[in-house]
């Protein structure tokens, strides 16, 4: 765990680059530092490996004050990735990756095994790329080597300073996906600096938004999108960004609560009355405890009302259901396969707590786009 306690950085000319930072980064967490130019995000990251010394406060790694650690071994035990990779042009790719293990005096067989493994991890065939030089690689390939080099000595902590900022959008997205995959396998503690809020939302377990050397909000992407704690945070993220990130919108923000439900013992006449009264075209059927049993389209009920005694005889199973923990993205992916265009939302006991329809999805996102926000009464 990395911990900042009342940490500040002040230069001799009086410039205060970072002001009284207090936060923690948990083991295995990817924290993104973001903010406008000059906000102190890169300074904050570089203080972790003492490339920039802090002037006040205390920074600890697993409880140990970094000021008590020799900076050379400290840095060798922290991976570091910078923009445009920073590879040594006269070293081969395998030599670039092997640099820190060699400095730490690993044996040659361990180094070779580690280099080959990491090249495969970052998507570079060792047989093809190991003996090449950086000038023979594309920008994206060089960044992959940079990531592999940062992982080479198997550090617990990796610092990444806008590593994908100079790449074209397609390559950048590919490497973001690679980082997500690698992190899911290796669970490193990563501090990632970027100026791109979309990149931050995609990668970060937590995001720290800074301005003028101050930390304004450190939170999960979901919390930042739904509950910005500062006007600048809302402005920086963008008020309409939630529209572009349906995977962060809880399904409970979209669903219609208290849907019309009927017991299976109801007669067709009563069920039809429910449908007419509430102006719905599909009836949800639940047991006495509210547990979902199935649905009945109104046309089916009208067609067979003379042939049945209770609606239990024509209840149809529901193939598409949303859990209460689902998101708008889940609903968007499922709605086209939903019977009659309706998806019941259930809790952990399978009790129906709401419904999502094509109309409710359209209304919600239309309101987000026009800036009205909130749930629409027209579902």
Encode pLDDT of 248-300 as tens digits: 788 988 898 888 899 999 999 999 998 888 888 899 999 999 999 999 999 99
What's residue 295's pLDDT?
94
302-346 confidence digits (pLDDT tens): 899 899 999 999 999 998 999 998 988 899 889 988 888 899 999
Q: Could you tell me which residue, 245 or 91, shows the higher pLDDT? A: 91
Band of pLDDT at residue 371, cut at 50, 70 and 90: low
Assess contact for 186 and 202: CB atoms under 8 A: no
Strand partners, 80: 159
100-134 confidence digits (pLDDT tens): 999 999 999 999 999 999 999 888 999 999 999 99
Does this model's pTM top 0.85? My answer is no
Q: Could you tell me which residue, 222 or 35, shows the higher pLDDT? A: 35
What's residue 164's pLDDT?
87
Q: Kindly report the average pLDDT of the chain as a whole number.
A: 89
What's residue 378's pLDDT?
39
Q: Could you tell me which residue, 85 or 307, shows the higher pLDDT? A: 307
pLDDT at 243 over 90: no
What's residue 221's pLDDT?
87
Residue 225's closest CA among 200, 256, 189? Answer: 200
Tell me the average pLDDT across 61-85: 92
Tell me the average pLDDT across 135-154: 92
Assess contact for 236 and 33: CB atoms under 8 A: no
What's residue 43's pLDDT?
96
Band of pLDDT at residue 376, cut at 50, 70 and 90: very low
What's residue 244's pLDDT?
62
Assess contact for 69 and 2: CB atoms under 8 A: no
Give CA–CA dist 41/214, Å, rounded: 9
Band of pLDDT at residue 368, cut at 50, 70 and 90: low
pLDDT at 375 over 50: no
Q: In sequence order, which residues have a C-beta less than 8 Å from that of residue 39 and are 6 or more positions away? A: 210, 211, 212, 213
Tell me the average pLDDT across 47-71: 96
What's residue 369's pLDDT?
56
Tell me the average pLDDT across 9-16: 92
pLDDT at 240 over 70: no
Band of pLDDT at residue 145, cut at 50, 70 and 90: very high
Angle at 36 between CA 33 and CA 42, to 5 degrees: 45
């Amino acid at each position: 765990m990395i911990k900042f306690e009342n940490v500040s950085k002040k230069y001799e000319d009086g410039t205060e680059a970072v002001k009284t930072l207090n936060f923690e980064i948990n083991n295995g967490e990817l924290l993104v530092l973001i903010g406008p130019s000059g906000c102190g995000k890169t300074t904050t990251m570089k203080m972790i490996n003492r490339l920039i010394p802090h002037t006040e406060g205390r920074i600890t790694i697993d409880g140990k004050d970094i000021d008590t650690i020799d900076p050379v071994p400290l840095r060798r035990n922290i991976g570091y990735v910078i923009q445009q990779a920073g590879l040594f042009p006269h070293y081969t790719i395998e030599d670039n990756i092997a640099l820190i293990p060699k400095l730490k005096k690993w044996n040659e067989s361990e180094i070779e095994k580690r280099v080959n493994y990491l090249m495969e991890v970052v998507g570079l065939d060792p047989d093809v790329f190991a003996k090449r030089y950086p000038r023979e690689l594309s920008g994206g390939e060089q960044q992959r080597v940079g990531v592999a080099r940062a992982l080479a000595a198997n550090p617990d902590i990796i610092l990444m300073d806008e590593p994908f900022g100079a790449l074209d959008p397609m390559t950048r997205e590919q490497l973001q996906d690679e980082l997500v995959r690698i992190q899911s396998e290796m669970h490193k503690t990563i501090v990632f600096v970027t100026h791109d809020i979309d990149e931050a939302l995609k990668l970060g377990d937590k995001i720290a938004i800074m301005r003028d050397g101050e930390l304004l909000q450190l939170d999960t992407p979901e919390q930042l999108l739904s509950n910005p704690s500062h006007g600048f945070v809302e402005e920086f993220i963008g008020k309409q960004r939630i529209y572009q990130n349906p995977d962060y919108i809880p399904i409970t923000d979209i669903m219609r609560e208290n849907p019309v439900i009927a017991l299976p013992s109801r007669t067709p006449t009563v069920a039809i009355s429910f449908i007419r009264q509430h102006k719905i075209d599909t009836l949800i059927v639940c047991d006495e405890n509210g547990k979902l049993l199935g649905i009945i389209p109104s046309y089916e009920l009208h067609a067979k009302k003379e042939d049945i005694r209770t609606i239990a005889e024509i209840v149809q199973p529901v193939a598409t259901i949303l859990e209460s923990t689902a998101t708008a993205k889940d609903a968007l992916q499922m709605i086209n396969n939903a019977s009659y265009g309706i998806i019941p939302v259930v809790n952990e006991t399978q009790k129906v707590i709401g419904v999502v329809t094509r109309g409710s999805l359209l209304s919600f996102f239309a309101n987000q786009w026009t800036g009205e926000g909130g749930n629409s009464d027209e579902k």
